Amino acid sequence: MKICFLDNTNFQYSYLDKFNPKLRGAETILINLSENLVKLGHDVTVINNCSIEINNDSSNWYNINKIDLLEKSTYDVVISNADARLLSKVNANKKYIISFSLQSLEKFIRKKQLISYIKHKPIYLLIGEYHEQNRSKLITLFGSKIIDLAIDDIFNNTSLNNKIDPNLAIFTSHAERNLDLLIDIWNNQIHPNFSNGKLLITPKNKFVEKNNIFFRKIGTKQEMINDMLKSRIYLVPGHKAELFCLAAEEARELCLPIVTLGIGSLKERVIHEKTGFIAKNSKEFANYTIELFKDDFLWNSIRNNLLNLRGSKSWLTASQNFLKQIK
């Protein structure tokens, strides 16, 4: 099939930025989908605000401001990133919108998407049950489907080591994803009851290094993986805007037991008492964390469950399932 992805967000990226630590979740997903759809034998074009145009065996990347290119192109399937208006820019037999947010109906109308949405009647591609349950039903009037996501192969291919710091927990998501809540639980409920515990976090100006909280270096993806490999526990409260949480999936693939409050989509990322714990409140969150620090038998049990699940979510498999959804 000839497949086209359209994205008019201001973020400049192409598949060459695959390992850029500043890459956001939506861009990471589009890069991996396009790359693996090509591996499956399909002709893939991505039209976005890329600064460098690319035309090779991996995929075709063009700048969206080349109107002449858009007008002459015809595809079997076009997938727009959260913008119904872009669907007028190319000819396609099937039209979809892939969404990575809980866009309200008010915002949808304010951005003048309603007319284009009614004209093109696209099917929405959503990224989980939480996403589907919390999105306006009117915006998915012409249908919606939940697609599978995965994580980069670098996580699947990383060899695990036994050089784990028994007292180290880590948080690698964006600081805006309730890191302040995690720090509050750490300072008031975890550190006072387990003073040996250390927490490695995403740095942000308003936070300070105290109570064994340390800033991790924002470098390459491999450097982040190295920090995760030496950690014993992954702590992530969740956030109401978190529709998938790639960071938690990455931790699962590296076999870190996860403790979460299950906010947003985090209940979909953790199997309670098998791959981690879903706490009902901050007290439970702290208790589960301390138990995983102190109880080697419990930690090894969760770790072994994660080892058995390792490699089950590759982008190639997710792309095969994606094709079934858009055919």
Domains of the chain: 2-147 (3.40.50), 153-309 (3.40.50.2000)
Cα–Cα distances in Å, from 223 out to 75, 219, 230?
39, 6, 11
DSSP code of 183? H
Q: Label residues 49-65 b or e (16+ Cβ within 10 Å = b).
A: ebeeeeeeeebbbbebe
Nearest-CA neighbor of 228 among 277, 179, 164? 164
DSSP state of 188: I
Report the pLDDT averaged over residues 152-167: 92
Q: Give the pLDDT confidence of 264-284 residue by residue, as tens digits.
A: 999 999 999 999 999 999 999
Q: What is the pLDDT of residues 278-307, one digit of tens each?
A: 999 999 999 999 999 999 999 999 999 999
Torsion region of 318: left, alpha or beta (phi above 0 gives left; psi -120 to 50 gives alpha): alpha
8 A C-beta contact, residue 20 and residue 302: no
Mean pLDDT of all residues in 93-104: 91
Mean pLDDT of 143-150: 95
Going by pLDDT thresholds of 50, 70 and 90, the confidence category of residue 204 is: confident
Read out DSSP for 192-206? Answer: TT-TT-EEEE---TT
For residue 146, what pLDDT is reported?
Answer: 96
* CA nearest neighbour of 61 among 123, 112, 116, 6: 6
22 pLDDT exceeds 70?
A: yes
